Structure 1
C-alpha cells in the first residue's frame, strides 16, 4: 500500500525524535561517568593527603620525645604530656635497644669486650655518643661521652657532664675518692663519674651508671 505524503513526513519526524533522544541519553551517561571519575580521583587525592599528614605527624611525635639519664636506667619523656617511660636496668637488651632507637635512630656501633671485671660485656653506641652496656643480653649500664651530643644528656634534676660537684651535692649524697681513674665520685650509689677537681666548682668530666667496664 502506498504511503501518502503526510504519512511519510510523520514517520520521518518520529525517526528524528528517536535519534535525538538516544543522543541526549548517551551524553548524560558520559557526563555522569566523567563526574564519577573526577569524584573518585578527588577522594583518592584526599585519602593520600590524609595518609601523608598521618606519617608526618608520627615522625613529628618522635622528635617530641626526650631521653633522660637515671641512676636506675634511662627515661623517655614526652615533652607535651610529660608522660615518662622507664627503661630500667636488667631489661632485655633487645627491648632496650628498640626503645632508645625510637628516639635516637638505629645504633651506630656494637662492640664486645670479654675482659671486663664484671665479665664479658657488649656495648651498643648511637650516633650521639650514648652507649649502653649489656651482660648476658640484659641492659646493665650506660655511659655518656665528652665531645659528643650525649654530653648534653642530663638527669631530670639537670645533672650531667659540665655540672659541678656543688650541683651534685645539692641533689645526691656524694662520696669523692681518688683512684687510678682520677678523682672519682659516687652519687647516692646510682651515678658514677670523674671530676676535674675535688672542690665545689670541680666539673663532671665523665659520667656513667650501672655496671661499666673500667680498668683500675
Structure 2
C-alpha cells in the first residue's frame, strides 16, 4: 500500500507559497477577527462552546489530532467536539482558534498535486489546509512543534516508536522523504529507523509534498 502524501516540514512548504490572493486574505482576516466566511456549503457548524475569556490559555479546550480531522477536548469535563474534514473554512478556523489562539500566517500554494490549497498556521506549528473553503487536512512537525498536540491516544511529535506501535497498528517503510509510517488515517515521519526513533511529523487528509 502506498503511503499518502504529506508535508515533511511546514516551513519548507511555506517557502514555496505565495501570499494569498485578495479574496483569500479578506476571508482569513475575517475569521481571525471572529467573523464568518460566506457559507457556500452544506457543512453544519460544530457545536464548540465559546471560551470563558478572550485569552485561549483561560479556556480548558485543547486540540486533539485525528485521522478524520481535529477534535477539541474540554479539559474540565472531558467532552469532545469534532471538527471533521469537510467543515466550512471559517467555522474551522474559529473553532480551533478557541484553543490555539489567533492565526499566525496564511497563504496559498497553487502547485500541489491535489490542486490549489489555502493554509492557516496556528501556534505549535499546527497548519490547517483548505480546499473549496472546506477543511481538508492538517500537519504538525519540526523542532518547534508543540508536544502537547497529540491524538486522543497520546501520540504526537516526540512520541517514541514504541509508544506509536503500542497505540496503533502501524506500517513503517523507507520512502523518498524518510522513515514514513501509516497508522490508520494518520501518516507521519520518524526521525530514524531504529527502535529508539521518535515521531518528527504528523499529518492527515489533503497534504502537499514532492516525492
TM-score with structure 1 length normalisation? 0.69
The secondary structure found in structure 1 opposite 2:146 is helix
Please name the residue that 1:99 is paired with. 95
Please name the residue that 1:21 is paired with. none
Contact 2:146 2:157 (8 Å CA) reproduced:
no
Q: Distance in 2 between matches of 1:211 and 1:128?
A: 20
Please name the residue that 1:208 is paired with. 203
Q: Distance in 2 between matches of 1:107 and 1:101?
A: 7
Shift of 1:105: 1.9
Please name the residue that 2:150 is paired with. 154
Please name the residue that 1:184 is paired with. 180
Please name the residue that 2:109 is paired with. 113
The structure-2 alpha-carbon separation of the partners of 1:152 and 1:79, relative to structure 1 and needing over 3 Å to count, comes to closer
Please name the residue that 2:52 is paired with. 58
Larger Rg: 1
Equivalent pairs, count: 159
- Gap regions ≥5 residues in structure 2: 1-50
Q: Distance in 2 between matches of 1:181 and 1:92?
A: 31
Contact 1:68 1:76 (8 Å CA) reproduced:
yes
Shift of 1:130: 0.9
Shift of 1:120: 0.6
Q: Distance in 2 between matches of 1:58 and 1:167?
A: 34
RMSD: 1.8
Shift of 1:149: 4.8
Shift of 1:172: 1.3
Please name the residue that 2:75 is paired with. 79
Q: Superposed, which structure 2 residues align to 1:129-144 within 5 Å?
A: 129-144=125-140
Bigger proportion of residues as helix:
1
Please name the residue that 2:192 is paired with. 197
- Gap regions ≥5 residues in structure 1: 1-56
TM-score with structure 2 length normalisation? 0.70
Q: Distance in 2 between matches of 1:149 and 1:115?
A: 25
Q: Distance in 2 between matches of 1:155 and 1:127?
A: 17
